[in-house]
Structure 1
Amino acid sequence: MRIDIISAVPGLLTGPLENSIVQRAKEKGLVEIFVHDLRDYTEDKHNKIDDYPYGGEPGMVLTPQPIFSCIDHLTSERKYDEIIFTAPDGEVFNQEEANKLSLLENVIILCGHYKGIDQRVRDALITKEYTIGDYVLSGGELPAMVITDALVRLIPNAIGDAGSALSDSFQDGLLEAPVYTRPAEFKGMNVPEILRSGDHKKIEAWKNEQSLAKTKERRKDLYEKFKKDY
């Protein structure tokens, strides 16, 4: 898999890319990730990549030329399955979307910045738009890393135990059941007896009950959707 991330502030991506499961997946040759600085593609003599918006609103907007030039360059070299823009008004990114993206070969993620990007970029080039929540960030670099991490960890062999990713919250539409580790007793608090019983059928039933109960309590929207679908 190859992921190309286009950013106005590429330095924000350095740490997460070099200290995570993503880095280990790169070292294993499971994924290629390239970060592209928009300023390398501007034709402005002052190296500008933004300008004031039409209509008199405050703030600055990323101009279309460097974005078109960068994406045109990338798409001339290979075919991309999706060209993603991280935007507050995009579709909510969730586990289902991460599952779909993890099956693709080539993906571009364009990070928004300032007030956003010229609408003509969105109209002509973007195939998917994602938000990671109902709030506004300074730029799209953090959402880009959230998306990258979420899909890379699903690539076979990216994490040590493949079954771990499949049992995470949201994979089956529910929140994950409580998890425990050793010691069995800590400060007077005990691991549920059922988890130490060795009876895998009873353990699985307990986990399902706990998962349903937690989802109903904390995410009624997910619980109602699960009950409807199943």
Structure 2
Amino acid sequence: MNKHIQSQTKQQYSSSFCEKDKTGWHATVLTLFPTMFPGPLGLSLAGKALNSGIWNLKTLDIRNFAPNKSRSVDDYPFGGGSGMVMRPDVVDTALEAVADRPGPRLYPSPRGAIFDQSWAKILAKEPGAVIFCGRYEGLDERVIKARKLKEVSIGDFVLSGGEPAALIIMDALIRLLPGVLRTTTALTEESFENGLLEYPLYTHPRNWNGIIVPEILTSGDHAKVKAWKRLEAESITRKRRPDLWKQYMKNKDK
């Protein structure tokens, strides 16, 4: 692809972004596999929110900005090593094409800061997010710094590409957008709210295989039920996540 065609491609994407989807939370995904989106986010609550305009999605095929007919976006790493590295010129041009899209520039990477619920809340308050999904061994370090990409990790493991991580990040924050969930109570009583994991949940039948729902939950005493939920949440957090429990107790003592 010569520079003239590359420029036309950039203008095509930029104009399409400006003309449509001016309301809602804006998700922009740069990927080698656009058909992976919206994927599961096109279903259930996220899918309904997408159809109703609470959030919108634009995907960009990175190969459209390759500088050659073979549409290659990677090359061998300087200094040797296994695998290939995504070229900085291709990545930079693709990111420039979405310069008008709002929100921080995120790059899912194992070496990034750990993504958590507090970060999801921050992103949900932004007008949107631009997520670059890397492949191969990753991106050239120069474009990461030049474009000020915020590296973000969903855990201490390695994926084949950034797409699954992007879907997880988007799912976590889309459900926080106003109007996605029926009630705000659903958000305030789940895991990581108030620094604790969620308490045990029960439903009908009351007696299942000889195991009976805790009597206090059917007592009708709202104060006792609330106290039970807090104690159970504290117990589970203390046993399963000592790191969260330590922070919870630290905040509690303030």
Offset of residue 32 of structure 1:
0.7
- For structure 1, list consecutive stretches of 5 or more residues without a partner in the other structure: none
Give the counterpart of 2:176 among 139, 154, 157.
Answer: 154
1:189 lines up with 2:211 in the alignment: yes
Q: Distance in 1 between matches of 2:206 and 2:212?
A: 6
Residue 112 (structure 2) aligns with: 90
Report runs of 4+ in structure 1 exceeding 6 Å deviation.
none
1:140 lines up with 2:156 in the alignment: no
Offset of residue 19 of structure 1:
2.2
Q: Distance in 1 between matches of 2:41 and 2:115?
A: 20
Contact 2:199/2:230 (8 A) holds in 1 = yes
Q: Distance in 1 between matches of 2:188 and 2:93?
A: 39
Q: Distance in 1 between matches of 2:28 and 2:206?
A: 45
State TM-score, norm by structure 1.
0.95
Q: Which amino acid aligns with 1:60?
A: M
Contact 1:113/1:139 (8 A) holds in 2 = yes
- 1:16–1:90: structure 2 CA closer, same or farther, 3 Å change rule? same
Residue 53 (structure 2) aligns with: 29
Q: Which amino acid aligns with 1:224?
A: K
Q: Distance in 1 between matches of 2:148 and 2:110?
A: 15
2:244 counterpart SS class: helix
- For structure 2, list consecutive stretches of 5 or more residues without a partner in the other structure: 1-24
1:36-55 superposed matches below 5 A? 36-55=60-79
Give the counterpart of 1:131 among 138, 147, 153.
Answer: 153
1:54-73 superposed matches below 5 A? 54-73=78-97
Contact 1:21/1:149 (8 A) holds in 2 = no
Contact 2:28/2:131 (8 A) holds in 1 = yes
Offset of residue 53 of structure 1:
0.8
Cα RMSD (Å): 1.3
Contact 1:83/1:108 (8 A) holds in 2 = yes
1:15-26 superposed matches below 5 A? 15-26=39-50
2:198 counterpart SS class: coil
1:193-208 superposed matches below 5 A? 193-208=215-230
Q: Distance in 2 between matches of 1:172 and 1:44?
A: 52
1:10-68 CA distance string (max 9 Å, x none): 23334223224321111121001111110112222211111111111110111112221
Q: Distance in 1 between matches of 2:208 and 2:119?
A: 38
Contact 1:96/1:171 (8 A) holds in 2 = no
1:176 counterpart SS class: coil
Q: Distance in 1 between matches of 2:32 and 2:143?
A: 15
Q: Structure 1 residues 144-153 or 117-126, which shifts more?
A: 117-126
Offset of residue 127 of structure 1:
4.1
Q: Distance in 2 between matches of 1:23 and 1:125?
A: 31
State TM-score, norm by structure 2.
0.86
Contact 2:42/2:50 (8 A) holds in 1 = no
User: How many positions carry a matched residue from both structures?
Assistant: 228
